Structure 1
Amino acid sequence: MVTAIMPLYLVTGLGLSPLGFGFLDGIYNGASALVRLLGGRLGDQGGNRHKTVAAAGYGLSALCKPLLLLVHTGPLIGAVLAVDRTGKGLRTAPRDAMISLATEPAQRGRAFGAHRAMDTTGALLGPLVAFALLYLTVDGYDAVFAVSGCIAALGVLILLLFVPGHRGTVPGAARPSGQERGWRAALGLLRLRGLRRLTGCAALLGLTTVSDSFLYLLIQRQLGLPGHLLPLLPLGTAAAFLVLAVPLGAAADRIGRRRLFLMGHLLLLVGYGLLLVPLSAGWTGVLPVLVLHGAFYAATDGVLAAAAADILPPAQRGTGLALVGTGQALARFTGSLVFGALWSAWGTGIALATATGALAVCTAAAMVVLRLSGSRVTTESAS
């Protein structure tokens, strides 16, 4: 709900420039990277920590929703968004570790696809509720923030009461010795060749990925859609993501997870290409872009976590997943700042053309690095 209206609220409601919006959007997408490693490490420290840390992260984000009712300036909103994304950083790696540890290796792509499909169901319903509230209420933004906070609190309660946590130590996992613990041990996971390559490619591609908020603003301005229809644009992305997440996750189990990850970026590249040409008036022009955007997420989001889990030892699963996510999040934070600066300096056309060209080059480079020229990529052992 909040993600759907935030671009309109900041740019139209508060009058932020594209560069200012890019900075806040970068905070929204990149601040979680600062604490993602902490969440992964805390979750790996035995017992029921994965669930505990995940619940703490979701709870922190839930508390931030009503705080948006009280702040109305860019710096304060940025601070609230940073705290909200801190919660996301804490919860993401422990949550994904719970999924990977509860799933057979051959089924991980499907399992992450199922999680992302359910997560996207909320992303699909959220813009609908936000649109209805903006339409029905006079002070619509405050209503969205209030209702969102209530729903987030309910989600935390469901996690605490109904989601089972792992009990005891991870089967077959060796607990790190005293000398191996700490941040040096976490960064030491990058000595695994497969993880190092995967993290580098995820960061490189994240650097050239236009953020969702910027993409929706581009579509809205190119088509001249009324501002109150902007919250509906994520529906196309969410619907495609929801439909394709499980099938593409299963496909990743069959053809190779890293291969599908790169294929997803090729789909995004086609979507950017469509935006570079004049779109047809109305929804017929925008739907193909949104469908490709959703297919990109279905082919990359959970698939990247499943690919990383193939390489990581069970005892450091959360920490390793956090490393991959941190690299990608920091790259997307930088990408948002660069794209916002290009938009402010030279306009949307040059900014999008630059991002499209960079994505094409980086996708080709990632294909070479991951050596996906022909054969199926299977689970890789550390080397």
Structure 2
Amino acid sequence: MYLATTGRRDAPPTPSGVRRRVSGTVLALGAVSLVTDVSSEMVTAVLPLYLVLGLGLSPLQFGFLDGLFNGATALVRMLGGHLADRGGRPKRVAGFGYALSACSRLGLLLASGAATGIAAALAADRLGKGIRTAPRDALITLGSPPDGLGRAFGVHRAMDTTGALLGPLAAFALLWATADAYDAVFVVSFCVGLVGVLLLVVLVPSDGSTTAVGAGVRPAARVRGGSDRGPGGRHLLRSAAFRRLLAATALLGAATVGDAFVYLLLQRRYDLAVAWFPLLPLGAAAVYLLLAVPAGRLADRIGRRRPFLYGHLALLLGYALLLVPDGGPGPLLLVGVLALLGVFYAATDGVLMALAGPLLPEGRRATGLAAVQTVQALARLGAATGFGAAWTLWGPGTALVLALGALAAAVGCAWRLLPSDALTEGTPS
């Protein structure tokens, strides 16, 4: 069984107040993610306008490129996790991913409108994102006390989301100042991305432990069973708890409608102008930013399994609000749906990684986290495809009812499947 020896009876006493501190490693990685997200979201915000309006690609062509590369990102995460564990250098692998994404901005600039060059630049960006995610999250788990993982991931995700909010604002401000010069956005995005890489090199220790925890708090313990290179390190699926976690993640992901569909449903309901549509994700992101740290602290206090499931219940309520007849609560419904979507991400994104971390041996942690992320991403990709097909065949109302029923069933199954939290709810069998 791949459970870290982190039960409270085994852990030495912690000085008062130390447990509440977030490690320097987490703050450094948060700064890297904040800066990198400013860079990436600058491009993401203007890319549809650049490709469809500037270069004349059809929405179908753009959708195909975006969907193809997002699907590839899910699979590349496994490669990033494997390389990080195999060489024992998660920082180096994460750094390569960050650098590849930064250089992709120059690729867009040099492509000069050529479809092949644009596709190569988008592929490099998605590959970089896929490669860096699992090693980065592994560094967070290695650089944090086991009973503070929820808070650590909450702080990191809050800083990451801050960058996601600032990026689009910076892009549109730059376009306004330069009279729609997309090249200026790509150049500035490249420079900001390089700053993120430099912050990683200078501030983040190679193994996550140098500034991992404050005095009196020991870093995450190694797993029972000896060496990480033994059978336990090679065969993650031998853990019943980890298998149940993967199954629950897949079920919930397969019943999660993509955010874009939620925003489209809101746009149709309120007949929002195209100019206002990009602001919808910012509403959900703002709620996520406000609640990420409190949700992580709550997960550390009561166990990570329950907040993770409660987050999906919030999403279920959001879907139900979308089914309220048009004569319902008006703009309050829009605010409610966006708020519930933000609650969903605050209670699930980092909390899932904090739940998975203690189930994995230290030497295979990046691979295990990558497996969870890949299963979730592929399941959500399938859910988006299924919802889009149902919308096309039967209309948005029927598709949403089906999604609501599927998510309710998935939450019920996951309630039984998810392993208990090793820190606060006992050891899973």
Normalised to the residue count of structure 2, the TM-score between the two structures is 0.76
Distance (whole Å) between structure 2 residues aligned to residue 141 and residue 229 of structure 1: 20
The answer to which of 348-357 and 64-73 deviates more is 64-73
Contact 2:242 2:356 in 1 (8 A): yes
**Residue among 241, 261, 268 paired with 2:288:** 241
Distance (whole Å) between structure 2 residues aligned to residue 353 and residue 143 of structure 1: 44
Distance (whole Å) between structure 2 residues aligned to residue 272 and residue 10 of structure 1: 31
**Residue among 343, 346, 351 paired with 1:303:** 351
1:40-189 to 2 correspondences below 5 Å = 40-45=81-86, 47=88, 49-69=89-109, 70=111, 80-133=121-174, 135-136=176-177, 138-139=179-180, 143-166=184-207, 172=222, 174-177=226-229, 180=231, 186=234, 188-189=235-236
Structure whose residues are more often helix by fraction: 1
Equivalent position of 2:416 in the other structure: 368
* Residues 203/344 of structure 1: CA separation in 2 closer, same or farther (3 Å cut): same
* Residues 318/365 of structure 1: CA separation in 2 closer, same or farther (3 Å cut): same
Which digits, 9 at most, give the CA deviation of each residue in 1:225-252, with x for residues without a partner? Answer: 2222222222111111111011110111
**Residue among 242, 256, 263 paired with 1:216:** 263
**Residue among 256, 259, 269 paired with 2:316:** 269
Contact 1:124 1:234 in 2 (8 A): no
Equivalent position of 1:378 in the other structure: 424
Matched, 1:343 2:391: yes
Equivalent position of 2:59 in the other structure: 16
Contact 2:252 2:411 in 1 (8 A): yes
Which digits, 9 at most, give the CA deviation of each residue in 1:116-164, with x for residues without a partner? Answer: 0110110121232234345555436555444333322221121112222
Distance (whole Å) between structure 2 residues aligned to residue 41 and residue 321 of structure 1: 10
Contact 1:206 1:331 in 2 (8 A): yes
Normalised to the residue count of structure 1, the TM-score between the two structures is 0.85
Matched, 1:34 2:81: no
Distance (whole Å) between structure 1 residues aligned to residue 399 and residue 172 of structure 2: 29
* Residues 344/223 of structure 1: CA separation in 2 closer, same or farther (3 Å cut): same
Distance (whole Å) between structure 2 residues aligned to residue 46 and residue 119 of structure 1: 27
Residue 269 of structure 1 and its aligned partner are, at CA, apart by 1.1
* Residues 258/216 of structure 1: CA separation in 2 closer, same or farther (3 Å cut): same
Equivalent position of 1:326 in the other structure: 374
Distance (whole Å) between structure 1 residues aligned to residue 46 and residue 139 of structure 2: 31
Distance (whole Å) between structure 1 residues aligned to residue 316 and residue 98 of structure 2: 32
Equivalent position of 1:228 in the other structure: 275
Which digits, 9 at most, give the CA deviation of each residue in 1:330-361, with x for residues without a partner? Answer: 11222222233333444433333322221121
Distance (whole Å) between structure 2 residues aligned to residue 348 and residue 142 of structure 1: 38
Contact 2:291 2:343 in 1 (8 A): yes
When the two structures are aligned, how many residues end up with a matched partner?
373
* Residues 376/102 of structure 1: CA separation in 2 closer, same or farther (3 Å cut): closer
Gaps of 5+ in 1: none
Letter in 1 for 2:374: T
Distance (whole Å) between structure 2 residues aligned to residue 92 and residue 86 of structure 1: 10
Letter in 2 for 1:348: P
Q: Tell me, what secondary structure is at the counterpart of 2:424?
A: coil
Contact 2:222 2:361 in 1 (8 A): no
Distance (whole Å) between structure 1 residues aligned to residue 120 and residue 104 of structure 2: 10
Distance (whole Å) between structure 2 residues aligned to residue 161 and residue 68 of structure 1: 28
Contact 1:58 1:88 in 2 (8 A): yes
Matched, 1:253 2:300: yes
Contact 2:143 2:209 in 1 (8 A): no
Rg larger for: 2
Equivalent position of 2:23 in the other structure: none
Distance (whole Å) between structure 1 residues aligned to residue 391 and residue 118 of structure 2: 22
The answer to which of 226-235 and 119-128 deviates more is 226-235
Distance (whole Å) between structure 2 residues aligned to residue 11 and residue 352 of structure 1: 29
Residue 92 of structure 1 and its aligned partner are, at CA, apart by 1.0
Residue 3 of structure 1 and its aligned partner are, at CA, apart by 3.7
* Residues 330/79 of structure 1: CA separation in 2 closer, same or farther (3 Å cut): farther
Distance (whole Å) between structure 2 residues aligned to residue 274 and residue 77 of structure 1: 39
The answer to which of 274-283 and 121-130 deviates more is 274-283
Equivalent position of 1:197 in the other structure: 244
* Residues 139/217 of structure 1: CA separation in 2 closer, same or farther (3 Å cut): farther
The answer to which of 120-129 and 256-265 deviates more is 120-129
Letter in 2 for 1:200: A
Distance (whole Å) between structure 2 residues aligned to residue 271 and residue 10 of structure 1: 32
Matched, 1:352 2:400: yes
Contact 1:206 1:329 in 2 (8 A): yes
* Residues 213/63 of structure 1: CA separation in 2 closer, same or farther (3 Å cut): farther
**Residue among 357, 361, 385 paired with 1:313:** 361
* Residues 289/146 of structure 1: CA separation in 2 closer, same or farther (3 Å cut): farther
